[in-house]
Structure 1
Amino acid sequence: MSTASDARFWDRTSRKYARSKIADQAGYERTLDRTRALLGPDDRVLELGCGTGTTALRLAGDVQSYLATDISADMIAIAKEKSAADPVPGLEFRSATAEALSHEAATFDAVLGFNYLHLVRDLPGTLRSIHALLVTEGLFISKTPCVGDMNLFIRLAVPAMQAIGKAPYVTVFRAADLSQQFRAAGFEILASESHATKGNDNRPYIVARKG
């Protein structure tokens, strides 16, 4: 298993993913509103794991520039199709990872990663890369499923589904572990919130600042 196999998984599922509905629309809207309030009109924003571009298309119009990236070229192709139908000035889609963007060090005022960190294979390394991509006191804003805090059925189901190719690579950690990893990478956590409107979905929304 490798990042290449991860990309192939998301390529295979890209069209199905594009058709899927957001499970907690009200919680998603809360996340968008909170994020929008943290961004300024002159900000340069990077989104990691943008999928088919739904969030990018909602937020990009409020900032100076917005680079939305994903490991899956097929996801990015769908995002570009959506963008062509409803263009937003300053929005660019690109197939890339945080590590691949290392040459753009200290470029972004904010980095966003929604439903992303649990899918990376080297969490400490990815967080260090994100830290390097931010300007001094730049913000990393994330919302991450913490599988280690979820019920036993979900924790057992993930490896079973992976074995038959129905689930991607997933890193299992708890919210407390994630916060510790943020601090180890040089971030100061400013806020940790739950935006769920249908119970606790164990996806903390974290606002962190580059120290």
Structure 2
Amino acid sequence: MGEDQGQFWDRVAERYAARPLKDPAAYEEMLVEVGGWLQPGDRVLEIGCGTGSTAVRLGGTVERWLGTDFSAEMVRIAQAKEAPEGVSFMQASAETEHDEAPFDAICAFHILHLLPDAPATLAALRRQLVPGGLLISKTWCLRDFNPLMRMIFPILRARGYMPEIRQIRARELRAMLTDAGFVLQGERHFGTHRHSRFIVARRAE
């Protein structure tokens, strides 16, 4: 039996934390975009926060930022960082329902394609949003990749270089969000990664 998601990310956490950004300009552009959707009084939940880089950068612009990840090692690295007041990290699965809910916004960056049951998780996230609250996501739509490139993914997975990944198309991602009770507000990509879809969706009233 292969590793589960938590085990995989625990194993690669230190290496992941030390790896430089491949496209710093695109990341900075994303931070500006996300910040434009948030308000100073917002309470934000981030699932799949990893080593906490985005929480540290944006957490000081809102009232509360709770970063969660299913990897204990990722959370440990995040907790060691100097974060703004109101930012905290905890180990939790993506579908965990938190006592602090409801949130004004939920961020899910590069995690929806890693979930074994994304529709169930989206339903749990919707329940934790205020009416009209935002789900701000960025998701790899690997099914839209060149077929030759997609052949590499199972090889990388078998060799332990890649976690279990759900291959979806951008149109399937949009349908998944609308089926879960969200209204799409905007979609784009940053830099050259056009298959990494940034989508903002609002919880339907």
Report the TM range for the smaller structure's normalisation.
Answer: over 0.9
Q: Does 1:65 align with 2:64?
A: yes
Is the partner of 1:167 in helix, strand or coil?
Answer: coil
Structure 1 residues 188 and 133, CA, compared in 2 at 3 Å: closer, same or farther? same
Per the alignment, residue 43 of structure 1 pairs with 42
Return the alpha-carbon distance in structure 2 between the equivalents of residues 14 and 137 of structure 1: 35
Following TM superposition, the consecutive aligned residue runs of length 4 or more in structure 1 with deviations greater than 6 angstroms are none
Per the alignment, residue 165 of structure 2 pairs with 170
Q: Does 1:129 align with 2:128?
A: no
Aligned-pair distance for 1:98? 2.9
Quick check: 115-124 or 177-186, which moved more? 115-124
Q: Does 1:181 align with 2:163?
A: no
Per the alignment, residue 23 of structure 2 pairs with 24
Aligned-pair distance for 1:203? 0.9
Structure 1 residues 34 and 103, CA, compared in 2 at 3 Å: closer, same or farther? closer
Which among 193, 200, 203 is matched to residue 196 of structure 2? 203
Which among 136, 140, 144 is matched to residue 135 of structure 2? 140
Quick check: 155-164 or 5-14, which moved more? 155-164
Structure 1 residues 174 and 43, CA, compared in 2 at 3 Å: closer, same or farther? same
Structure with the higher helix share, 1 or 2:
1
Aligned length: 204
Return the alpha-carbon distance in structure 2 between the equivalents of residues 142 and 88 of structure 1: 22
TM-score, normalised on structure 1?
0.92
Aligned-pair distance for 1:163? 1.2
Q: Deviations over 1:128-184 (max 9, x none)?
A: 111111110000001111000112233111111111222101000000000000000
What one-letter code is carried by the residue in structure 2 that aligns with 1:80? Q
Aligned-pair distance for 1:6? 1.2
Structure 1 residues 77 and 200, CA, compared in 2 at 3 Å: closer, same or farther? closer
Q: Deviations over 1:71-128 (max 9, x none)?
A: 100000001111xxx231000100012322x253851000001111111110111111
Contact 1:105–1:132, Cα closer than 8 Å, also in 2 = no
Which among 62, 76, 87 is matched to residue 83 of structure 2? 87
RMSD: 1.5
5+ long unaligned stretches in structure 1: none
Aligned-pair distance for 1:204? 1.1
Identity value in percent: 41
Contact 1:105–1:134, Cα closer than 8 Å, also in 2 = no
Contact 1:68–1:94, Cα closer than 8 Å, also in 2 = yes
Return the alpha-carbon distance in structure 1 between the equivalents of residues 77 and 101 of structure 2: 29
Q: Deviations over 1:4-24 (max 9, x none)?
A: 721011000000000111111
Return the alpha-carbon distance in structure 1 between the equivalents of residues 83 and 189 of structure 2: 31
Return the alpha-carbon distance in structure 2 between the equivalents of residues 201 and 157 of structure 1: 19
Contact 2:41–2:63, Cα closer than 8 Å, also in 1 = yes
Contact 1:192–1:205, Cα closer than 8 Å, also in 2 = yes
Is the partner of 2:140 in helix, strand or coil?
Answer: coil
Aligned-pair distance for 1:27? 1.0
